[in-house]
Structure 1
Amino acid sequence: MPLNLPKLNRLQRKVVLIILVMVVVPMLVAGALASAWVSSNFEERLQRWIEESAVVAQTWLQDYQSDAILLGHVLADDPEFIVNLDSAEPTPLKQPLDQVIQKMGISFVQVYDTRNKLIYSSAPVSFQSSWEPGQSEAVLKVTQKNKSVLATVGITPLPREGLARFYVVLGSLLDQDFINKLTQLSGLKTRLYYREGNNFYDLFSNPNEVQSLKHLPKEALKRLQQDKKPYYSLEAEQGQFRGQYTPILDSEGHVEAIIFSGLERRGFEEILTNRLVMFFLISLLGIAIGVLAGVLLSRLIVRPVEYLRSGVMQLAGQNFHAEVPVSSNDELGDLAKAFNAMAVSLRQARDEQQQRFQKDKLSALGELSAALAHEIRNPIGVVNTAAALLEKSDTDPKKHAELTRMLREESMRVNNLVQDFLQLSRYRRPEFASVDPAIPLERALGTALAGRNNIHVTRRLEHGDVRISADANLLQQAWGNILTNALQAIGVRDGELTLTSVREDGHVMIAVEDSGPGISPEAMPRLFEPFFTNKEQGTGLGLTIANTLVEANGGNLKILEPEKSGARFGMRFPIHEQAFP
């Protein structure tokens, strides 16, 4: 079954990422330090506990010897026991005493004379080596059932004071029972390695297989055999345990056995002592805390911001009915209230603007209609007058021809006025393409100068390979209107047109200046108004149409300061692309 994880937007992902960086990075540093401290500290405590628990083996041996000596004193103070030893055939120990010996863990009781001749033995055990004179306790190698084992013994002379006649030897075998008791007492895994030649072997852990103590390094064996000191290892018993090896010395000071006491490497202790695992767990915890904190913070803080973003996007889409829910009384709540109030204000302003626009539109339409009617009224008046005169039968033929010419010119004037008006109100949508800004001007110039040989053209085009995005035909039409006005200003006399272009601030400016009389300061502000003209013949729409076409192509038509005395117009467009060498 797929998990339905919460989806986060970009801002929420950034918040989560920032929280992760703020939490995880310190957590990683703290995790590295904490894992090192915890693992080393816990490892140190484990080692101390294992070493203290391993001392139980030595203490246990000493307790066995102390019990053997104590019981030997009891036997030495028993007159019947001494008399029994003087008999030709000593009898076994009395049953109550024998039961006490067994409960104390004593494996055998033997009596020797001063020549170390065995007089009495409670078990078939024979010593492979003897104790030193005056020695009261020792660890000796014995033979039992044709096997060599170690025994911890207590030695008591009889009598206890004066010249000894006998030696009572009570011993406990270091066998599997001893190992099991030591394991229960210490809580650690215990193994006993007996010495056979130069090697040590575990004879009890697995009766079917004798295990050799070969995995210890040479430094460890040297410490155990030569220095006769315990050796602690983190990778004991082929890496399965952490524990301590303790040497067991015989009566001559030779290492006859090694007791291992260790804790198996598994479970919770292994996790706490593994730095890498601890670092991984702490880092994982930090990442989890960071993710949860980031998600929670993004829900509490970023969600109101997301509501605001959605409201702003709706406002940008002209939806002035957008509203942001107010979910808190903090600064974000105040911001949501302010946004809602702003949306209401914008909606009211939009409604008022639409009303004003409608009024302005009707007013502009009235003004334009009045201007158009005024411009048409004069030609119509001339037409009406000429038509009335033509109705008279006694009209002179020359007068008749003159009236006919006036009718044709005035009707053509009305037709041109209507055509310009239609062109102003319904020009076609531009078809944008990458063009050289000088090409539309050159084409319009070629058309305007047809039949005019007295116009000198000067070109200073410095725009290089710059291109603009525009409709070349519409720009040619705009330049045609400007050039028509320029030629009309020059008149029939010789004249000059100066074409310039320059790049500036990511834009290109291309301009035309004529050698006419120029434009008066009073006429400057009204040049682009419909039907405004200083010429006797003209509709006053040429520059208005040119300005509209330039703006439709993403440019601006400007009146520039002339270099000489004429009129200078320029078109400014953003650079679309530029070829690099």
Structure 2
Amino acid sequence: MPTRMTTLRLRLVIGFLLVIVPAMLASAFVAAKLISNAFEDNVAHWLGETSRFFGLEVAEAAQEAQRVAGVIGSRLERSPNDIKMQHTVEREFGVLSSVGYDLMAVYRPGGEIIFSSRRFSSVGSLPEKTGQGLFKIVADGRRWIMAGAVQSIQINGQSANLLVGSWLDDNYLGGIKVVTSLDVRLFSDFDGELEPIVQTQSDREIVVPKAILARLDAGEEEIFDPNAERGAYRAIYTGFRGIDGKLAAISFIGLRSDAGFFEQLSRERLFLGIFLFGSCIAIVVGILMSELLARPLRALTRGVRAIAAGDFGQRVTVGGGREIAQLAAGFNGMAEQLGKLQDLEMELRRRDRLSALGQAAMVIAHEVRNPLGIIKTSTEVVRNRSKLGATEGKMLGYVIDEVRRIETLMRDFLDFAQPRPLVRSRFPLRNVIDRVAAIATAELSRRGITFHIDDKSGGARISGDPDQLHQACLNLVLNAMDAMPSGGAIYASLAVNPDTVSLTIRDEGPGVPDAIRGEVFNPFFTTKAKGTGLGLAKVQSVAVAHGGTVACECAPGQGAAFTLALPRAETGEGS
């Protein structure tokens, strides 16, 4: 059966996978496509923002240079001669170089240099009117792209121009270099070919494609390329205009494709990862669902085995869907009916045994009582008329006592096997326990036992034979007394419900072991050295004759409790 159950679970898992895999393939493809597109859009947006930030920095540098050029130009215009102007230029450039400016020059229209902070040459003619932008400069044996401005001024009545600017170099990039996964480069055309002027990483040569160059030259500001440098970068190209309005420089801001985990995921890898992850979840869900479906079946299997083994008290949890719940409910109903049939069969067998025992007891009693009477009478006559010694008299006394005990046993047999018909009357059950307490008072006192009655029956009445009920309750009290040889307390509790009135006799003895609790009401079963085993059997027969029940309960550390439950008398029933 476990192998079959395992096979069922495996089939359920396989069936679940066959249903879920096609849907998982489709959903994984759609998810991979959406995630990939969203990632590409986010990368493009981020690179675009970075490019615009870089462009904004360049524009602000040119504007700042324009303001500086205007201030210095006004001071130069107030210089009375060339020597004074020279001192003013040198002083102002000293201040400007301390805040990051790299070049300051004064020149005449046509390009004649009046003053320069360093030797330089311009790629193309220097502008002759006020303006700002990018300049291509050759200085100190290197080629530079300069963000600067030109200010037209009058020196001693003659026209001149003031040029102020700073290089766009690695130091100028500032915070962009902190992002190590970014590769930032600035290209410019000096000899008919683009060459890098600024670059944050030099481990890879990057070439601006001609198609990109043509589009930027035509006027496009930004171009995003998700497969730049044959897929090595996701990059954005941005064009920068010079002071003459022409394309002066091109920036390349790229994110390496191998820079991080998500950057390394292609759409195919993303699809495979989502599919495998979803498949794992599907397998786990399939196992859980199969377990959910197979668990009620396993419970039913265990229940069937228990029923086959004779345990008719076995019940299964009703659950697992409507059909399985109906099956479980049907199984529980069947088990309950089988339990009732078993109890009925046991009761019938017990009655058959009692009937056979009663017949045998009556035959034996009738056959034994007459000889016992002769033995008892003869023994008493011999003891009274003969002169016997002390030893012989004592032995005859033993014989007489044992004969009397056998007579008592025979009488108990007859009472149990052929009980007297009930003489019913209507009375409160409290009357019975009061009568028992009155009779047993002396014996209870002698044994050091206290007797407590807790009546919560409200005077509820029963219809029964007071003498037989008195004998049954007296047997329960005597058993409780025998269970406490060192004294203690006996508690008699009366309770009532709409159908029955119950009396519980509880002692403070060791209780009844679980192993023998089911046998205490069987005839001739006893744990006492001189007991007949008919006391509790008689209690049960009296309870059954009255249409009631008797049960034994043992709470840990609280002794044994026997509860006699009898039907309540109907209102108006005769007394």
Question: TM-score, with normalisation over the residues of structure 1?
Answer: 0.49
Which of the pair has the greater relative contact order for Cα pairs under 8 Å at 6+ separation? 1
